[in-house]
Amino acid sequence: MKAAVLNDYNQALELEDRPEPEITRPNQVRVKIEAAGVCSTDLHAIDGEMGPAGMEVPRVLGHENGGRVDAVGDLVTTVSAGDPVLIYPPHSCGVCVNCRRGLDMHCEHHQFTGLTLDGGFTEYLVVSEREIVPLPSGIEPVDVAPHSDAGITAYHALKRVAHLMLPGTTTVVLGAGGVGHVGLQLARELGSSRVLVVDPHPDRRKLAEELGADEALDSAGVVDAVRDLTDGRGADLVLDFVGNDQTHGDALGMLGLTGTYSMIGFGGTITVPSVALVSQEQTVRANLVGSWTDLWEVVQLHAAGRITLKTETHPLDEVNEVLGRLREGDITGRAVLLPHANGSG
C-alpha cells in the first residue's frame, strides 16, 4: 500500500510502498482510510517540533482519519466490516486514573496516531477498538475526517468555557483556519456571546461571516478594533487558534476585566507581567485535543446539521503540495487527502 512518510525532519514526505498492516490482537480494528485531514500539527511535526510529544522519524503522518472498517479482531463488539468510522487519534488504555476520569488524551500510556505511531496518510490502519468512533447513518468519513483532530480540539476547548459565553459578553476567535472555522461555529452553538472573528485573510473572514460570526476583523490593529467594539471594555473570552507571539500579544492586549484567554494553537512564547493578570483577575488556559466523548459529541452536532466543515480534497500523491499551501496560509477550511483516489485533481 502507498504511504506518505516523513523520513527526516525539514524534508518533503516521501511516497513509499509498505505492507498492509494486519490485526495482531483481538481488540483491534483495521480501517480502510478514505480520508485524512492535513493539519498545522503536521507542519510542526515536519519542522521537528513534536519531539517533546514523543515523536520520532521515520513516521507516516496523518491524524485526522476517517474510513470504513475493513476487518475486526475476535473481541470487537461495537463495529463490523463496512461501518463508516473516525479514528480518535490518542491511544488510551482505559484503566489508568486519567482514562477513568475521561481524560483519554492524558493516558499514562499515551500514544498518538500520526505522531508517535504511524498515521493515516496511507491506505490501511490498525487501531484498537477504543479509538473507533462509529459514524451516524448518512455521514460519510470524507465529510467529517477533520473532526478527528480539528473538530475535537475546537469542541473540547469551547465546551470548557461555554459557561462564560453569556448574553452580553464578547468572544473573540483568533484565526478562522481549519480548527478556528469549527471553533467559531461552536461559539455560536454553545454560547450566547457576540462572536468576533479575526483573520488576516479576506477569504477566511468571508467564510467566518458565512458560518455565523457577528463580525470578521482583519488582524492588523485588532486590539484597538476590539476595544472600540466593546466600548473600551475588551473581550470577555479570547480563543486563540493560532498561538504565535503576535496572537499571544493581541489576545492579552484585548482581554477585558475578569477575561479568559484560552489557547488552542501553539508555537509562540507568552510573556505577561503577573500584576496585569492579578489586578484584572484574568485567566489563561490551554487545551489539548479532547476525549473520545468530545469527538463523539462533535460528530453528533455535525450529524444534526448544527455545524459544518469547509473542506477540499486531494489524492494522497499531492500531499507535499497541500502541505506547502497550508504553510503559506493558502487553504480556506481543511484540506483532506484521499488515499485510495488515483491521479491528480
Q: What angle do CA 161, 149, 241 make, to 5 degrees?
A: 50
Q: What is the 3-state secondary structure (H, E, C) of the chain?
A: CEEEEECCCCCCCEEEECCCCCCCCCCEEEEEEEEEEECHHHHHHHCCCCHHHCCCCCEECCCEEEEEEEEECCCCCCCCCCCEEEECCEECCCCCHHHHCCCHHHCCCCEEECCCECCCCECEEEEEHHHEEECCCCCCHHHHHHHHCHHHHHHHHHHHHHHHCCCCCEEEEECCCCCHHHHHHHHHHHCCCEEEEECCCHHHHHHHHHCCCCEEECCCCHHHHHHHHCCCCCEEEEEECCCCHHHHHHHHHHEEEEEEEEECCCCCCCCCCHHHHHHCCCEEEECCCCCHHHHHHHHHHHHCCCCCCCEEEEEHHHHHHHHHHHHCCCCCCEEEEECCCCCCC
- Read off the C-alpha cell for 242: 493560532
Minimum distance from CB of 243 to Zn ion (Å)?
Answer: 13
Cβ closest to Zn ion, residue 89 vs residue 191 = 89
Minimum distance from CB of 91 to Zn ion (Å)?
Answer: 9
User: Do 200 and 220 touch, CB atoms closer than 8 A?
Assistant: yes
Minimum distance from CB of 332 to Zn ion (Å)?
Answer: 17
**For residues 151 and 309, what is the distance between their CA atoms, to the nearest angstrom?**
9
Minimum distance from CB of 289 to Zn ion (Å)?
Answer: 8
Minimum distance from CB of 114 to Zn ion (Å)?
Answer: 8
Cβ closest to Zn ion, residue 105 vs residue 165 = 105
Which of 321, 319, 320 lies closest to 337 in space, CA to CA? 319
User: Do 44 and 243 touch, CB atoms closer than 8 A?
Assistant: no
Minimum distance from CB of 291 to Zn ion (Å)?
Answer: 11
Minimum distance from CB of 231 to Zn ion (Å)?
Answer: 37
Cβ closest to Zn ion, residue 107 vs residue 172 = 107
Cβ closest to Zn ion, residue 93 vs residue 341 = 93
Cβ closest to Zn ion, residue 128 vs residue 246 = 128
Positions that interact with Zn ion (CB under 5 A): 39, 41, 92-93, 96, 99, 107, 149
What is the Cα 88 distance to its own chain's centre? 11
Minimum distance from CB of 163 to Zn ion (Å)?
Answer: 26
Cβ closest to Zn ion, residue 110 vs residue 205 = 110
Cβ closest to Zn ion, residue 70 vs residue 131 = 131
Minimum distance from CB of 252 to Zn ion (Å)?
Answer: 25
The residue whose Cβ lies closest to Zn ion is 39
Cβ closest to Zn ion, residue 15 vs residue 96 = 96
Cβ closest to Zn ion, residue 106 vs residue 340 = 106
